[in-house]
Structure 1
């Protein structure tokens, strides 16, 4: 429906992209949507979004002049390179997270985050493209595209609430980002059926996949993050893109050259750092100090996590307990009783968040690990088994959770 041309801005002497609505497809509705996309792209002021230089009309054809990106889409990158190094996946994901956080601050939901809508520049920076399906909550000019409540998005990457035609929010884009990161890590989309119907059935009826099923070397923190981002119910996903960024940024290191794409980053800003400075702070107040828990002794840091939990900051408490467990395990091993206790506290912290699937998965892993050390009849193993059975009965079914998405779009 459109034409995209490389061009040269003769006034400012810079390369640009000029995008037209093709004359053959031209109609009033398409022209409206074209203008709407340009305005939404310009509305999101972030270096991870292509700059809009001009919007106008020539001989009855609308056009937009955009920043030219010297790079490749992630879809083409995976097709050419196969699965990407873990550091690069984290670097790309951290950048996209910062863009989604900026979008969340103005109520914008992209609704079509997928590998073909993200480009990697040759300097390692990322750009999110194609805001044709985006909406801005509480702004009637950009709250909807069509007059009917039809599902919009890309099968395999669109969140369940999009499939049902329900309300969307920023967590809808986290689902698309999770599916994209799964694709980058494994070389395969997370849900891939022979037909559209079978793909949708996998999305709605099967538990979210783990990248480690296809790539065992994926770090546990990254595997858990992506699995959680692909949760059927939005409440089971991370609260904000800031949480996703915080988990990914530390993993964005040891970035090897990508032949033909990012051959030499020497002397340039290493990948994700190109956007790091533009990550907005979370709007939610911080309950305690921002001291690194690993700089405290275990007793102090655990007490700090308990204070977070008591204040209702369950996710922050879970993260701190996990960090402590990982830190202690490096010195004393995974089977140490304190490591077990810290991981158990972290798992239980997800229950009041309604993240039953995540809590159950972590509890089951702890139960199996403890059973291997102390035997299946050890009192701690028996108690965990009973807790898992009780929690399994309490959780709603996946379809029930998907059908009860809060109406936050209007």
Structure 2
């Protein structure tokens, strides 16, 4: 089994010479699967001395981050999860200050500093506001990772320029970097680090490697003895081991269950009865089956999917295969294929999904060679809703094509294949096997993938626009040229073929919408799927302004009245000079 991320932690906090402790700190080391999907979080906050409620701000910030971060979707990246949580906390702190009697005095509100470290797989993510600090000790060398957000008026006077709750907008410092075994991170408030040199910091940690709580306590006591008048808080986190990056170990973990044999019609398999073979591809075998246990209460058939025999030694292919069901379980949308829950234990490696009685979009286009714009618009709108469900969870589909879209007997459109889907939260995990960059079908793949660039939601938008164009015209906007363009220069030479045709009733503004969505440069496309769908329903303001006839043609009377008024003004000016 691959080794896990393991750490040792020490913490200490004391009010020092102050009447109360306005600092707050905490750490969470979850068990699996959250250890892999979310990582380890440690945070420290320091309330400002001028406020009587800043200790509440420190508690709310640290507790809120540690509790709510682990409640965010496991598909989200660390950055998105932490930013969503901290933005909400910051808004709450600011609103509490605005409700109080000191709403016009930021120094008396719900304000605190924050320094947080989230360790996921082999990467450390730092989130920071204010003047508490995070240090890294590597090979006896100490490096300060955070910058003090403090503005100095003079040598004696300064104030916090950034902090939690001080402004309605969150201006957070975020950075990420690789970690190594035996890296040590120290989080400390100013009451400690202003009176503790690097040499002493390393000395306490070296002398108490097996008891980091004692090392943190000694740091605080040393600062106290040196004359610190502030609260005293310190945290130490040492990285003891990192997850294995060995692909062979990962493959063994993925294939703990045996692969099923090729199934025959009417055969019994793991509690299922095979009704018929649906189809087979180079990636998988698809069967229509009946669940013999579930059939006692329901007669609904189920789709059973097994990995192709040719890919049973391919670690990346196995991981993609298993990811499909994992992804489907986390998306709740009427326009995305649903997995089938199975209560009994599986004895083989396979996945099960709902059966859709209908046809693929490929077949629909064959049956409807000249569809109405309204029919296309309805299908595209449903596909877009399915894609938005992916994007809300920081997932990119990356292989949107007609074969991966089903239309059921009621006209409901569903996205059915997730084998190429990229999940931001899982991409941060070292255990995830590296995949090749281009996994989609070339004709529908966005141009940026062929440059080796990372895809975005605008890449899925491009694929949807290609499908829309194909439904309306029966051809592809760039033919097969996109896959041949491997440089920016070549992509700038791509020529968009207008969707307008004598034999098809396609409005000019639809063509204008498609042209924008199909721009080779992703920054020139629509920024959101909703914008594209909206502009398919009515002419955009940009199009109307571009096609607006001159004033002389629209209203000759107003045009000549305007000219006459201008001439009168000119004459008056000339007479007065």
Pairing 1:71–2:358 present: yes
Choose the corresponding residue for 1:246, options 534, 547, 551.
534
Asked if the contact 1:156–1:203 (Cα under 8 Å) also holds between the matched residues in 2, the reply is no
Structural mapping, 1:86-125, within 5 Å? 86-125=373-412
Asked if the contact 2:478–2:495 (Cα under 8 Å) also holds between the matched residues in 1, the reply is no
Unaligned segments of structure 2, at least 5 residues: 1-282, 556-577
Pairing 1:18–2:304 present: yes
Partner of 2:551: 337
Partner of 1:175: 462
Partner of 2:448: 161
Instruction: Give TM-score scaled by structure 1 length.
Output: 0.57
Structural mapping, 1:199-278, within 5 Å? 205-213=493-501, 217-248=505-536, 250=537
Residues 1:187 and 1:320: Cα distance change in structure 2 (over 3 Å): closer
Residues 1:195 and 1:189: Cα distance change in structure 2 (over 3 Å): closer
Residues 1:100 and 1:57: Cα distance change in structure 2 (over 3 Å): same
Q: Please give the alpha-carbon distance, in whole angstroms, between the structure 1 residues aligned to 2:552 and 2:360.
A: 45
Q: Please give the alpha-carbon distance, in whole angstroms, between the structure 1 residues aligned to 2:394 and 2:541.
A: 29
Residues 1:142 and 1:84: Cα distance change in structure 2 (over 3 Å): farther
Residues 1:133 and 1:151: Cα distance change in structure 2 (over 3 Å): same
Q: Please give the alpha-carbon distance, in whole angstroms, between the structure 2 residues aligned to 1:194 and 1:234.
A: 17
Aligned residues: 266
Asked if the contact 1:117–1:130 (Cα under 8 Å) also holds between the matched residues in 2, the reply is yes
Asked if the contact 2:331–2:390 (Cα under 8 Å) also holds between the matched residues in 1, the reply is yes
Q: Please give the alpha-carbon distance, in whole angstroms, between the structure 2 residues aligned to 1:6 and 1:14.
A: 10
Asked if the contact 2:361–2:403 (Cα under 8 Å) also holds between the matched residues in 1, the reply is yes
Partner of 1:4: 286
Cα distance, 1:321 vs. partner? 6.5
Structural mapping, 1:184-195, within 5 Å? 184-193=471-480
Q: Please give the alpha-carbon distance, in whole angstroms, between the structure 2 residues aligned to 1:26 and 1:214.
A: 51
Comparing both structures, which one devotes a greater share of its residues to helix? Answer: 1
Q: Please give the alpha-carbon distance, in whole angstroms, between the structure 2 residues aligned to 1:45 and 1:338.
A: 54
Asked if the contact 1:2–1:22 (Cα under 8 Å) also holds between the matched residues in 2, the reply is yes
Asked if the contact 1:93–1:181 (Cα under 8 Å) also holds between the matched residues in 2, the reply is yes
Residues 1:146 and 1:176: Cα distance change in structure 2 (over 3 Å): farther
Q: Please give the alpha-carbon distance, in whole angstroms, between the structure 2 residues aligned to 1:215 and 1:57.
A: 57
Cα distance, 1:205 vs. partner? 2.6
Cα distance, 1:213 vs. partner? 4.8
Structural mapping, 1:375-390, within 5 Å? none
Q: Which structure has the higher relative contact order (CA within 8 Å, separation 6+)?
A: 1
Residues 1:239 and 1:143: Cα distance change in structure 2 (over 3 Å): farther
Pairing 1:44–2:331 present: yes
Cα distance, 1:39 vs. partner? 1.0
Asked if the contact 1:192–1:199 (Cα under 8 Å) also holds between the matched residues in 2, the reply is no
Cα distance, 1:139 vs. partner? 3.4
Cα distance, 1:219 vs. partner? 1.6
Cα distance, 1:31 vs. partner? 2.5
Q: Please give the alpha-carbon distance, in whole angstroms, between the structure 2 residues aligned to 1:186 and 1:143.
A: 44
Residues 1:164 and 1:199: Cα distance change in structure 2 (over 3 Å): closer
Comparing both structures, which one devotes a greater share of its residues to strand? Answer: 2
Q: Please give the alpha-carbon distance, in whole angstroms, between the structure 1 residues aligned to 2:430 and 2:370.
A: 36
Partner of 2:225: none
Q: Please give the alpha-carbon distance, in whole angstroms, between the structure 2 residues aligned to 1:322 and 1:206.
A: 22
Partner of 2:370: 83
Asked if the contact 2:319–2:433 (Cα under 8 Å) also holds between the matched residues in 1, the reply is no
Indicate the SS of the match to 1:7. Answer: strand
Cα distance, 1:223 vs. partner? 1.3
Cα distance, 1:140 vs. partner? 2.6
Residues 1:21 and 1:58: Cα distance change in structure 2 (over 3 Å): farther
Cα distance, 1:107 vs. partner? 1.0
CA-atom RMSD, angstroms? 3.5
Instruction: Give TM-score scaled by structure 2 length.
Output: 0.41
Q: Please give the alpha-carbon distance, in whole angstroms, between the structure 2 residues aligned to 1:319 and 1:189.
A: 23
